[in-house]
Amino acid sequence: MNALVLSAILGVVMMFSGILLKRPAAIRSVAIIGLLLLLASNMLDMSGTRFFSINLGDFLHFDRFAFLFNSVAIFCVLVYVLLTGKAIERVGVKNYADYFALFFFVLCGIFLVTSFQSLLILFLGIEIITIPLYILTGSDKRNLKSNEASLKYFLMGAFSTGLMLMGIALIYGAQGTFAIEKFNLLKIPGSPLMIAGMLLMLFSMAFKVSAAPLHFWTPDVYDGAPTVFTSFMATVVKAAVFIGFIRLFENAFGLLQPTWQLWVALMAAATLFVGNITAVFQQSVKRMLAYSSIAQAGFMMLAIFALNGDAKEGLLLYGAAYSLATIGIFSVLSRMDDYSYESFNGLAARQPLVAATLTIFLLSLAGIPLTAGFLAKFYMIKAVVATGSNLWLVVFALLMAAVSVYYYFRVIQAMYFREAGEHSASFQEPGKGFKWVLVLVAALIIALGLFPSLLLNWLYF
């Protein structure tokens, strides 16, 4: 609750700081301090120190899982601001503070989605997340691609919102309540109203996490949006919606698992296939990362499919590993003026440290041991194998992971094994602070890859 209230307040503070503060660096500092405060208050909340005691009724329930993910999300946003905060200036200095305000509002939505107890709150949370994203996507006002992406995102997003509302309405019709605690699935498990509502919810959530076959908006939107904001929406937001996704399907529809499990399995397989195979053919690293985010979503879908203890822990780890690595890659990408693979040629010779950390991020995304990405994938497949059936799904997922090596390693190949040529993009010389944060994130990824308990123990202690 602390973080929820504070994030809303901080959002407003950021809006007004734009009027009071003129220097971008000052605005950035306010945002960083705000995020640190947010992180601290959330941690305090987790350990039992609550600033507010409000009767939340059936609307919200903060459990350790939600708290821990909220901390991860705040931390990722902090890393994101530290790494890419300066690059946001290039999108527009005039509205600089507003972007940060939007980040805080998105965080507010994330806190709702991760701890909702009522379908109404879920809907509210999802909308609070997506509306700022529509704005951020279109924030490069003079760029046609950005405008197109924003419009596309908005139209498609509105459509999926409609689906979700319809689903909620149908479920309300079947159950007579929005509170997922009070759902009575044992009595009327197979009521067509309930099943139809559940499927509509499944599709709209799948749309938000860009799972196939509802992924079509993703590449265009991620590619069209300014790179700095793609980084934000492809990582923290996606992971958060997944937390809401698993919460919905565990707490609300858990008993209907036999009904939806095959749907989720097929969607996961389709997502993995589409994401990985299409990513292979991309010529631009940015677009590749868009498809890679679809592919990674396919892996996270496995958690929804398995829905056991390992799956929940794994999803948390996956969210952290994927977000940190992708934020790191995008932060480097946003400092380049060209996004083709060739532009990475010979980067290792010019920027050895940046190239080395980037390699760790890519290895983590590909799932090579010693990185958090490996253990995250490992948790996922362990969760699926533990269900005892559908071994084909695991084998398929891992073969697709082997495919993913192709496009992640192309970047490594360009950086290390190819000479810098005329195509090599100019790389904005990074400052000391940027490099330190990159090294820190890389170290964190390796630490999590060796000792996931660093993160997961917080769930229990």
Residue 321 touches another protein, criterion: CB under 8 A = no
Q: Which residues pair with 179 in a beta bridge?
A: 118
CB of 407 to another protein, least distance (A): 11
Q: Which of 20, 262, 399, 443 binds another protein (CB under 8 A)?
A: 399
Nearer to another protein, 102 or 375 (CB): 375
Residue at 304: amino acid letter: I
CB within 8 Å of 189: residues ≥ 6 apart: 255, 256
Residue 385 touches another protein, criterion: CB under 8 A = yes
Alpha-carbon dihedral angle through residues 431, 435, 441, 445, given to the nearest 10 degrees: 160
The gap between the terminal CA atoms of the chain, to the nearest Å, is 20
Tokens of 369: 């041991």
Residue 443 touches another protein, criterion: CB under 8 A = no
Q: Are 11 and 62 in contact (CB under 8 A)?
A: no
DSSP string across 213-261: TS-THHHHHHHHS-HHHHHHIIIIIHHHHHHHHHHIIIIITGGGHHHHH
Nearer to another protein, 59 or 409 (CB): 409
Residue 263 touches another protein, criterion: CB under 8 A = no
d(CA 312, CA 300): 10
Burial of 169 (0-12, 13-18, 19+ CB in 10 A): middle
Q: Which of 316, 381, 411, 442 binds another protein (CB under 8 A)?
A: 381
SS3 340: strand
Residue 216 touches another protein, criterion: CB under 8 A = no
Alpha-carbon dihedral angle through residues 202, 204, 210, 212, given to the nearest 10 degrees: 60
CB of 385 to another protein, least distance (A): 5
C-alpha angle 338/342/347, rounded to 5°?
A: 85
Residue 402 touches another protein, criterion: CB under 8 A = yes
Q: Which of 61, 152, 350, 382 binds another protein (CB under 8 A)?
A: 382
Q: Which of 57, 176, 369, 433 binds another protein (CB under 8 A)?
A: 369
CB of 70 to another protein, least distance (A): 22
CB of 314 to another protein, least distance (A): 11
Q: Which of 169, 179, 196, 405 binds another protein (CB under 8 A)?
A: 405
Q: Which of 417, 421, 447, 454 binds another protein (CB under 8 A)?
A: 417
CB of 364 to another protein, least distance (A): 12
Q: Which of 51, 281, 406, 436 binds another protein (CB under 8 A)?
A: 406
Residue at 183: amino acid letter: F
Tokens of 280: 């292979």
Residue in 440, 226, 241, 206 with CA at minimum distance from that of residue 334:
226
| Segment contacting another protein by CB under 8 A, of 282-290, 324-332, 434-442, 447-455 | 447-455
Residue 436 touches another protein, criterion: CB under 8 A = no
Nearer to another protein, 162 or 421 (CB): 421
How many residues belong to the site for another protein (CB under 8 A)?
A: 30
Nearer to another protein, 125 or 452 (CB): 452
Tokens 């498809």 — which residue?
A: 291
Residue 363 touches another protein, criterion: CB under 8 A = yes
d(CA 94, CA 88): 11
- Contacts with another protein by CB under 8 A lie at 363, 368-370, 374, 378, 381-382, 385-386, 388, 391, 394-395, 398-399, 401-402, 405-406, 409, 413, 416-418, 450-453, 456
